[in-house]
Structure 1
Amino acid sequence: MAKAGELVLELLPGPDEATEREAPAVVRTARLIGGDAALEFIRRFRTDQRLSVRSELNLAWPSFDTIEFFEAVLEGTVEAGQMLTVDHVEKLALLPRLPQLTMLLLNGNHGIPPAVLAHSPLEHLTLGHNDLISDLSPLRELPHLRSLALNRCRAVTDLATLSGLPLNQLYIYEPLRELSLAPLSELPDLRQLIFDFAAVETSLNQLDFAPRLTGLGLLQDACAMNLAGLEALTSLEWLTINTEQQWRTFLSAGTFCTLARLQILDVPHVDLAAVLPHQGLTSLFLTKAQQVDHLGALAELPALKYVGFSRCGPVDLTPLAPLNGVEVRLFDCDQVVGTSLFPSDRLLID
C-alpha cells in the first residue's frame, strides 16, 4: 500500500502547477496517503500562502509527527491571518516559535494555558470543547485580541467576565445553559455577534448594545430570539436568521440598513422577490428551504456575486444562468435543474 501511495504522489501536481481549486485537494490527498514520502511532498507547499492551502496544511498536522511536521512545513511560514489548530501540550510548547501567528484554535480541556496568554500577537482565539474555563478575564492579558469564539465551553455561565476586553467579534456556540447577553453592553467595541443558544433575553430590543452591531448571526438554538427592534440596527452589514418568524420580522423592517450578506436558515418557504429592497446584497445563502420562489428576481440585485443553497429543493437554477457575474454553490441539494446551463467556473457542487 505504501508503494501504491508513493506512485500516486508522483502523479500529483506541485504548488507551481496546481490551480486554486486543485492545490488544497492535492495536499489533502497526500495527507490521506501519509508516511515519509507524503510529508516530503507536502513540504513543497510550505511557502504556498493561498488560504485554502494553509487550511489544508493545518488539517494535515495531526496526521504526522508533531515536531517533524512543524519543522518541515509550518515553522517560519505561518503568517498573520492564518488559523492554526492546537490540541495538545506538545503543540502548545511550539507557540513561541510562531511569532507571526495571530489566529489560534485551541481544542480540549486545557483551560487558558500560560503559553496562550503569553502569545501577545493573538487577534483571534477560538476555545473549543473546554470544560475547565469559567472565568474569561485572564484574556485581558492579550492586548490585541479582537475576536473570540467559545465552542462548547460548558463551564462558562456568566459573560460578565468578558468585561474590559477590546473585542470586536464574539461567537458563542452550545454552552451548557442559557446565558444572559446583557453583559455584552460592557464591550464598547463589539460589532459582530453570532450565538447558538437560548439567551435569557428573548427580544432584540432588550439588548442595548444591538444598535452598534454591523453583523448578527442567530443560529439554530437562538430560534427563540424575537427580532423586534431590528430596524434600529442601521449599521448592519450581514445577518443570519433561522426561523420563519425572524424572516417575517426582517421583511417588515424594510430597508433599515445597507445589507451586503444575508443567510436564511431553516425557513421552509422563501420568496426571493422580498429581498429586492436590499439592493446592496452581494451574497445570499439558503438552507433547508423546501420552496424557493421568484429566483429570477435576483437579476434585479446589481451587486449580487454569490448565491448558495444547502439541502434545499426543488430548485430551478435556470433564471440564474444568464447572470454572468454570479457564482452559485450547492451543498447536498438533490432536486436541482438547470445546472447544465452553467460554466464550471460559476457552479460549485459539494
Structure 2
Amino acid sequence: MAVAHARPTESADLLRRLIERGDAETEHRSRLHLLAAASLQYATEIEPAVRKLVEHHARVLMPPRSPEEATGLAALGPGILDLLPGPEDLEYDEVGAVIQTAATIGGDHAYAFLSNFTQSLSSGPVPYELVNGWGNFESLPYAREILLPVKDRLTLVVNTNDQRNALQALKPILDVNFGEAFADEEIIEHLSPEHTQRLRIDAGSLLADLQFVHRLPALRELTLSECSQLTHIEDLAGLPLTSLSLLRFPDAVSFDALALLPELSELSLYTRLPWNRLEEMPAPPGLTELRLVRTIDASLEGISKWQLLEKLVINSGPTPAEWREISSLPKLTDLFISEFDLAQATPMLNVTRLQLSVTDTDTQIHLIPYIFPNLRSVLINCYNFLSKNIDITPLKQIEDLSISLQYANSVIGLEEFDTDAIQRYPRPRKTGA
C-alpha cells in the first residue's frame, strides 16, 4: 500500500483523500473508510486531526454486523485485526461477524485474536463462525486451543481427514457434522458411543447402509443427506431417535421405516417423497415438529393426523384446503413459511410465532393481523425480497408484538412501535456510514 512508504505529510494527505472519497462515493464508502483505518499502522507520523478523523469513521463501521460486512472487512487484510474488538459488550449480530472476519483473514495474528476471543466468550451458545473458521488453520492446534474450551456449546464441523483425526482432542463428542463424504468406519472412528447425541452427515454418498448408527446408543438426533447408495432406511428401525432429517435422497427410496421409530417427535423431509399426499406417510403420531421442503411433490392433505404438531415449516404455499387443514391443528403455535399466499389462508388463532420468507413484491403484511390475531412474535426475512420498501404499519393492530426483520433495507412504519419491540438484522448503520 502506498501509505506504508509515504512521507508523513504524504501519508496524511493519502488518508485524508481516502476519507473524502469515501464520503463522496456512497457505494464504496464503508470499504474506503476502513481501508484508511487499516492504513494507520503503516503511517509513521499522522497529524492528530487526520488520525482522529480516520478513527472516527472506523468506529462507526465497527464491529461488523453481518456475513457480508465480515467478508468486506476480511478483504482489506490483516491490518483490520487491530481494529476488531473483543467479545465484551458486543451485540447479538456482532460476535459471529467479528469471528468470521478474523477467521477469513487467517494467519498467526488472526489465530492469536481468535484464541483470546474464545477465552473471553461468555456462557451460552457459541457462534457457528468459530467452527467454520477451522478450515483456515492447522486442525489439531485449532481444536485444542480454540474449540476445546467451548466444544460442548457448538456443533463440530468436519470437512477433512485432519479435522476428523483432531476429534480425538475434543472427546467426548456430543454434536458433530460431517460436511464431506466419509465411509461409515471413518465417521464412527473418533466419535463417543456413550456420548454422541447429534450426528449430521451432509454427504452420504459413500454409505451403503446405516448399520453403523446402531453403534451410537446415545444418539437422539440424526441428519442424512445425499445418500445416493441407499434404497431404504430400515436400518434405523427401532432406534430411540427423537429427531430425523432426510435431505436430497434418490427417488424411489423407501421411507416405510418411519413407522418403526416410536420416539420420533421431530421430522424434516427435504427430499422427494414416494407418496402423493401426507396422509400416506407412516410417521408416528407423536410428531410435534414437521419440516417440509417444496420439492416433496406431495400434497399436505392428511397433515391433521398429527394432532400433536406444535411447529410446522413449509416451503411452498398451501392450497385453500391445505390451509384449512393446517388451521385445524389444535396445538400448532409455530408456523414458518415461504412462497405463501395469505389471501388463501384460514385464520389461525393458536399460532403465536410466525416466520415469513418474503419472495414477492407483495408482502401481504396487511393480512397478518387478520390471519394470526394472537401472534406474540413475527420474523420477516427479506433476503430475497424484490421491493425496496417493507411497510410494517399494519402490525400495529396486534398488541405487544415482537418484530424481527432480516435484511429489510428500507422499513416504513418504524415510528409506530416502541424501539424495544423491533429487532433488525443486520442493524442499520447511522447515516453517513
Instruction: Report TM bin, short chain.
Output: 0.7 to 0.9
Cα deviation digits, residues 50-73 of structure 1 (max 9, x gap): 666441210111111112222221
1:285 maps to which of 327, 350, 356:
356
Aligned to 1:155: 229
> TM-score, normalised to structure 2's length?
0.71
Deviation at 1:124, TM superposition (A): 0.8
Higher relative contact order (CA 8 A, sep 6+): 2
Show the counterpart of 1:215: 289
Q: What is the SS of the residue equivalent to 1:105? A: strand
- Amino acid of the residue matched to residue 108 of structure 1? E
Q: Is the 8 A contact 2:320 2:345 kept in 1?
A: no
- In the aligned structure 2, how far is the partner of 1:82 from the partner of 1:170? 19
Identify which range, 246-255 or 118-127, moves more after superposition.
246-255
Q: Residues 57 and 34 of structure 1: is their aligned pair in 2 closer, same or farther, counting only changes over 3 Å?
A: same
2:145 counterpart residue number: 72
- Whichever residue aligns with residue 392 of structure 2, its letter is L
- SS of residue in 2 equivalent to 1:294: helix
Q: Deviations over 1:107-128 (max 9, x none)?
A: 2221222324554311111101
- Equivalent positions of 1:95-174 (< 5 A) are 95-112=167-184, 113=186, 114-116=188-190, 118-174=192-248
CA contact (8 A) 1:173 1:197 kept: yes
1:270, distance to aligned residue in structure 2 (A): 1.6
The residue correspondences of 1:185-334 to structure 2 (distance < 5 A) are 185-222=259-296, 224-245=297-318, 248-267=321-340, 269-271=341-343, 274-278=346-350, 280-291=351-362, 292=364, 294-295=366-367, 297=369, 301-310=373-382, 311-312=384-385, 315-320=390-395, 324-331=400-407
Unaligned stretches of 5+ residues in structure 2: 2-37, 43-76, 427-433
Q: Partner residue of 2:105? A: 33
Q: What amino acid is the match of 1:28? A: Q
Query: Does the CA contact (< 8 Å) of 2:317 and 2:338 recur in 1?
Result: no
Contact between 1:226 and 1:246, CA under 8 Å: does it hold in 2? Answer: no
Contact 1:233–1:257 (Cα < 8 Å) also in 2? no
| Cα contact 2:139–2:166 (8 A) shared by 1 | no
Cα distance, 1:18 vs structure 2: 2.5
Do 1:35 and 1:64's aligned partners in 2 also have CA atoms closer than 8 Å?
yes
In structure 2, how many angstroms separate the alpha carbons of the residues matched to 1:215 and 1:44?
A: 39
**3-state secondary structure, aligned to 1:244:** coil
Q: Is this contact kept in 1: 2:262–2:284, CA < 8 A?
A: no
Tell me which amino acid in the other structure corresponds to 2:137.
F
**Offset of 1:301 from its aligned partner?**
3.8
Q: What is the percentage of aligned positions where both structures have the same residue?
A: 24
- 8 Å CA contact 2:365, 2:395 repeated in 1: no
Instruction: Return the alpha-carbon distance in structure 2 between the equivalents of residues 329 and 298 of structure 1.
Output: 20
The residue matched to 2:346 in structure 1 has which SS?
Answer: helix
Asked if the contact 1:241–1:247 (Cα under 8 Å) also holds between the matched residues in 2, the reply is no
Aligned to 2:150, the other structure's residue is in SS state coil
Counterpart residue type for residue 96 of structure 1: Q
Unaligned residue ranges in structure 1 (runs of 5+): none
* Match in the other structure for 1:175: 249
Give how far 1:172 is off.
1.1
Q: Tell me what 2:131 maps to.
A: 58
Q: Match of 2:220, as an amino acid?
A: R
Aligned equivalents of 1:104 and 1:125: distance in 2?
Answer: 5
Partners of 1:18 and 1:347 in 2: how far apart? 15
Q: 1: CA distance between counterparts of 2:378 and 2:246?
A: 26
Q: Is the 8 A contact 1:107 1:130 kept in 2?
A: no
Aligned pairs for 1:13-32 within 5 A = 13-32=85-104
Report if the CA contact (8 A) 1:215-1:236 is conserved: yes
1:43 aligns with: 115
Task: Number of aligned residue pairs: give it.
Answer: 345
| Greater helix content | 2
Deviation at 1:338, TM superposition (A): 3.3
Supply the distance in 1 between the matched residues of 2:320 and 2:178 (Cα, whole angstroms): 35
Distance (whole Å) between structure 2 residues aligned to residue 345 and residue 50 of structure 1: 25
1:133 to partner: Cα distance: 0.6
